[in-house]
Amino acid sequence: MNKKYTILLLGSGGREHAFAWKINQSSLCNKLFVAPGNAGTSEIAENVNLSINDFESIGKFSLKNNIDFILVGPEEPLVKGIKNYFLENITLNHIPVIGPDKFGAMLEGSKDFAKEFMIKYKIPTALYHTFTPQNISEGISHIKNQTLPIVLKADGLAAGKGVIIAQSHKEAEDALKNMLGGQFGEAGNKVVIEDFLKGIEVSVFVLTDGENYLILPEAKDYKRIGKADTGLNTGGMGAVSPVPFVNEEFLKKIENNIIIPTIDGIKKEKIDYTGFIFFGLINVDGEPFVIEYNCRMGDPETEAVMPRLENDFVELLVAVTKNELKYHIIKINPQTATTVVLVAGGYPADYEKGKIIDNLKNVPDVLVFHSGTKRNEKNEIVTNGGRVLALTALGNNLEEALQKANNAAQIINWEQKYFRKDIGFDLITT
């Protein structure tokens, strides 16, 4: 493989910084552009002031800069059809977009579509019913017959806030009325009500060219803002990889019962699917069930997974564009990676931006992945979002990696910084 590739990466979070970091290590990368990127990506790539949903501008930029392929980080451009835009444009369809088409992205973009797909292809998941404003009374009757707790999910994308686990029938009824009444806009035009599954969650990822797939390192993320998984849901406060209970036997169940039927279903539905499939799973008494699909990598899981991937990432991405993944084998670093996310005070509710970040260069033994950061007029790196930095450390065991990450989290500072000090503690066996 002698050719060098000019790559456009879409996104601005920690996931995209981790991708950029891994791409930048490859001798196959000629030039990397990140749109719009952040203060971290600007140090290893060229940031481009493009909106991830402005397909026309992305197309013009790609032609002007001889982009060889586009890697899409977040879900929104995929759900809105960026791949279709390129495929259907005669001047752009030679530029591969790594990600599913609009139909495939519905696995994440519509909970109802995903559940139908799982039932059709006999993929283990919780039993469910879908309701709309037209049959809300049936929904309320259904709730009254449900055992507690009750899970309600807005059908569409709701920025990670569209899932409610109701602890009472009244809470569930109120949630259903609010969702169908416009709480999440169009995302709540349908609401999926499903059985509650009790167990431990884990995220499993595959990279696929639509025919073949490779299983990437798994991870466990931590969504709640507070210690011991309390408080409001967030985009993710940390991650750990590998996950101790995902042994060879459990992974084989995931592959046979979930991954293979999913890939087969994608083929049978004639979905143009390249890129990542994120399986949000739950371990129920040793059996894996699918909670949700995502059509992209997770964040902050990517920040824990990428450092454990020993393959040349660009080589794998090129194989995806050429339908040649079958010629590759995933190589995984056996060490443990732990990621601790530093967030702005007040997140996930109201928070301030523009706080100067200190001591970024004074943290040994960690990878610092930027998310909500930018450079101000004085060229200082400042906060520019709720989740600001993801600190990833590798260690020979979970305790060693966590100690490094938490030490770094103490050193880096800005006004009202916050992080969870107990990421991974639930996985430490005494």
State whether residue 72 is helix, strand or coil: strand
Q: Is residue 67 part of a domain?
A: yes
Residue 56 has a CB neighbour count (10 Å cut-off) of 9
What are the pLDDT digits (tens) for 397-420?
A: 999 999 999 999 999 999 999 999
Write out the residue range of the structural domain in which residue 158 sits.
133-189
> Last residue of a domain, which of 43, 77, 99?
99
Q: DSSP readout, 193-230?
A: EEE---SEEEEEEEEE-SS-EEEPPPBEE--EEETTTE
User: To the nearest whole percent, how much of the chain has pLDDT over 70?
Assistant: 99
DSSP state of 358: B
Task: Calculate mean pLDDT across residues 56-84.
Answer: 97
Mean pLDDT to the nearest integer, 365-393: 96
Per-residue DSSP letter, 147: P
141, part of any domain: yes
In a domain, 405, yes or no: no
Cβ neighbours for 364, distance < 8 A, ≥ 6 positions apart: none
Please count the structural domains in the chain. Answer: 2
Is residue 288 predicted with pLDDT exceeding 50?
yes
Would residue 417 count as lying in a domain? Answer: no
72 plus 137 within the same structural domain? no
Which residues are bridge partners to 128 per DSSP? 194
Residue 430: band (very low, low, confident or very high) from pLDDT cuts 50, 70, 90: very low
Question: What CATH code is carried by the domain that includes residue 17?
Answer: 3.40.50.20
Torsion over CA of 22, 23, 28 and 33, rounded to 10 degrees? Answer: -160
The band of 362, judged by pLDDT with boundaries at 50, 70 and 90, is confident
Domain finish residue from 99, 115, 143: 99
pTM of the model: 0.95
**Residue 256: which residues within 8 A CB-CB, separation 6 or more?**
none
Q: Which among 19, 73, 46, 16 is positioned nearest to 314, based on CA atoms?
A: 19
User: Does residue 153 sit in the same domain as residue 73?
Assistant: no
What sign results for the dihedral spanned by CA atoms 359, 360, 365, 366? positive
Task: Write out the two tokens for 120.
Answer: 């059709």
Q: Is residue 287 part of a domain?
A: no
SS3 for 163?
strand
pLDDT of residue 134: 92
Q: Is the pLDDT score of 46 beyond 50? A: yes
* pLDDT score of 10: 98
User: Is residue 157 predicted with pLDDT exceeding 90?
Assistant: no
Taking the mean position of all CA atoms in its chain, how far away is CA 121? 24
Whether residue 47 is contained in a domain is answered as yes
> Exposure of 54 by Cβ count < 10 A (0-12 exposed, 13-18 middle, 19+ buried)?
middle
pLDDT for position 185: 87
pLDDT one-digit tens code per residue, 265-284:
999 999 999 999 999 999 99
Final residue of a domain: which of 154, 172, 189?
189
**Confidence tier at 1 by pLDDT (50, 70, 90):** low
* Mean pLDDT along residues 13-27: 97
2 — pLDDT class (breaks 50, 70, 90): confident
pLDDT digits (tens, 9 = 90+) for 178-233: 999 888 888 889 999 999 999 999 999 999 999 999 999 999 999 999 999 999 88
Same domain for 173 and 95:
no
Write the CATH number for 150. 3.30.1490.20
Task: Decide which of 400 and 362 is more confident.
Answer: 400
- Note whether 176 and 136 are within 8 A (CB): yes
**Alpha helices in 255-308, H assignment, sequence order:** 260-268, 301-305
The pLDDT of residue 188: 85
Percent of the chain with pLDDT over 90: 93
Kindly state whether residue 176 falls inside one of the protein's structural domains: yes
- Three-state secondary structure along 228-251? CCEEEECCCCEEEECCCCCCHHHH
- Per the DSSP assignment, residues forming a β-bridge with 202 are 281
The SS3 assignment for 307 reads helix
C-alpha 242/C-alpha 262 separation (Å) is 23
When pLDDT is averaged across residues 365-380 and rounded to a whole number, the result is 95
Q: Is the residue at 254 inside a domain?
A: no
What pLDDT does residue 226 have? 95
Residues 95 and 138 in one domain: no
Q: What is the pLDDT of residues 322-353, one digit of tens each?
A: 999 999 999 999 999 999 999 999 999 999 99
For strand 163-166 and strand 224-226, is the pairing parallel, antiparallel, or unpaired?
A: unpaired
Q: Confidence band (pLDDT; 50, 70, 90) for 31? A: very high
pLDDT at 428: 87
**Residues shown for the chain:** 430
Residue among 297, 276, 319, 292 at smallest CA distance from 369: 297
Same domain, 82 and 143: no
Instruction: In whole angstroms, give the CA distance from residue 73 to residue 282.
Output: 24
Dihedral, CA of residue 182, residue 127, residue 222 and residue 298, to nearest 10: -80
Output the furthest CA–CA distance in the chain (Å, rounded). Answer: 64
User: Please, what is the average pLDDT of the chain?
Assistant: 95
Asked if residue 36 lies in contact with residue 48, where contact means CB atoms within 8 angstroms, the answer is: yes
Question: Which amino acid is it at 203?
Answer: S
